[in-house]
Amino acid sequence: MSEPPFKVLAVATHPVQYMAPIFRRMAQDPRLDLHVAYCSLRGAEAAFDPEFRTQVQWDVPLLDGYPWMEVPNKGSGEETFWGLNNPTLKSLILEGNFDAVLCYVGYVRASFWIALRAARGSNAAFLFGTDAHSLAPRDAKSWKVWFKKIFWPFLFRQADQVFVPSTGTFELIKSLGVPAGRITLTPYSVDNDWWKSQSAKVDRAAVRSEWGATPDQPVILFCAKLQPWKRPIDLLHAFAQVNFEPQPLLIFAGEGPQRADLESEAAKLGLSQRVKFLGFVNQSRLPALYTSADMLVLPSTYEPFAVVVNEAMCCGCPVIVSDQVGAARDLVSPVRPDFVFPAGDTAALAGILRTAFADRAQLRKSAQLGFAQVESHSPEKISAATVEAVRKAVLYIHSKRNKPGA
């Protein structure tokens, strides 16, 4: 007789295009009885995104294929501790008879602590994680490093199981004193089948023609918000250092506060004719970008993982990243370790670009290897790993209950 499925509540901040296919896959797993609670519907409903500086509503299904509910938010909705304050999470968890609560809300939001306290009160296992691979914060403020050194060991001891998306994160959490048996690697994934099928439909020549690129002209792509920590300016400066024929084209896909500075700098460098800004590009149009470009570059100085690497590899686009990108170790290095450069070193990045385009046959081989490597990060694998994390967390809770004197 088979075991009954684990009844699991996943608490998430809002619908995200990367998590929707994961939730769909988890909902199909007979070992789980999955329920998803959203603290807001930002992303599924049109709203102004201050970082994209435009009205954003993702144009792919985010709420199909799994059971979900919206939990009323009494908070401001802003990026502050009280921005997400969903008090009815308490009754939902206490009365829901869940075996486990998966919390995808960060500890810097009130709703995380509401969910944690309710899980403790209901004897449900509580699982959460992080995608950080170092203690360094995005804004480089040193006091935050010291705070994390003190607080994070306590914080992650609150988890009955910590789920992490990368090898680097696994090692970080282990270094905080969390036993390896209480950490599960759930590798970040996109819907690989969707990306690969959409890529196969792209008319590459037509897209490149829209960009003004000739068939053999190298096209380098940056696909992310134009934020300081993603260092698009480093890519622009490295691009200015490469000089080969035919002259390459640089495409910036994304919007953000650095766009005006980038446009101005491109003009100063005399590159305006070979640097194009596409602005915000919605999800359904991204496969055409990756498929039509020859290279994706992400030079971030802070990047916990970067699923754009998964997306590009699914579309057969080789990837160059800085050593501060979480995906560097698990996805890029196994394919081309020489495509990882020290963050901030524009000369090193320029050198990699020269080397990459000097051997186009090797570059095509790198694309094929990346296409295969990304299958190590699939919805099936993350779903299976999550089920295992739930199983271990529930066993851990039961073992604590059965201890003498518990």
Are residues 270 and 180 both part of a single domain?
no
Domain membership flag for residue 242: yes
Number of domains, the chain: 2
Helices 346-358 and 232-241: crossing angle in degrees, nearest 10, is: 60
Coil, helix or strand at residue 163: strand
Residues found in the chain: 406
Alpha carbon of residue 92 to chain centroid = 28
Question: Are residues 170 and 244 part of one domain?
Answer: no
Q: For each of the chain's 406 residues, which pLDDT tens digit applies? A: 478 899 999 999 999 888 999 999 999 999 999 999 999 998 776 665 655 556 566 667 889 999 999 999 999 888 899 999 999 999 999 999 999 999 999 999 999 999 999 999 999 999 999 999 999 888 888 999 999 999 999 999 999 999 999 999 999 999 999 999 999 999 999 999 999 999 999 999 999 999 999 999 999 999 999 999 999 999 999 999 998 888 999 999 999 999 999 999 999 999 999 999 999 998 889 999 999 999 999 999 999 999 999 999 999 999 999 999 999 999 999 999 999 999 999 999 999 999 999 999 999 999 999 999 999 999 999 999 999 999 999 998 888 766 665 5
Residue 372 one-letter amino acid: A
Domain match, 250 and 382 both: no
CA-to-CA dists, residue 259 to 206, 211, 255, 279, angstroms: 26, 18, 7, 9
pTM above 0.85, yes or no: yes
Domain harbouring 234, CATH code: 3.40.50.2000
What percent of the residues of the chain are helix, what percent strand, and what percent coil, each to the nearest 5?
A: 45, 15, 40
What pLDDT is attached to residue 44? 72
Residue 312 to residue 318: CA distance in whole angstroms: 7
- Identify whether residues 212 and 352 lie together within a single domain: yes
Listed residue (61, 70, 304, 276) closest to 169, CA to CA = 304
Q: Print the domain residue range for 54.
A: 6-189+378-401
Residue type, 216: D
CA–CA distance, 9 with 99 (Å, rounded to integer): 8
Crossing angle between the packed helical segments 259-268 and 232-241, to the nearest 10 degrees? 10
Query: Residue 231, SS3?
Result: coil
Same-domain check for residues 134 and 161: yes
Residue 221 in 3-state DSSP? strand
- 389 and 318 inside one domain: no
Could you write out the DSSP letters of every residue in 7-74?
EEEEEESS--TTTHHHHHHHHH-TTEEEEEEES--BTTB-EEETTTTEEE--SS-SSSSS-EEEPPP-
Same domain? For 57 and 202 the reply is: no
- Is 81 in contact with 70 (CB distance < 8 Å)? no
Nearest of 246, 210, 195, 240 to residue 378 by alpha carbon: 195
- Across-strand partners of 56? 47
In a domain, 342, yes or no: yes
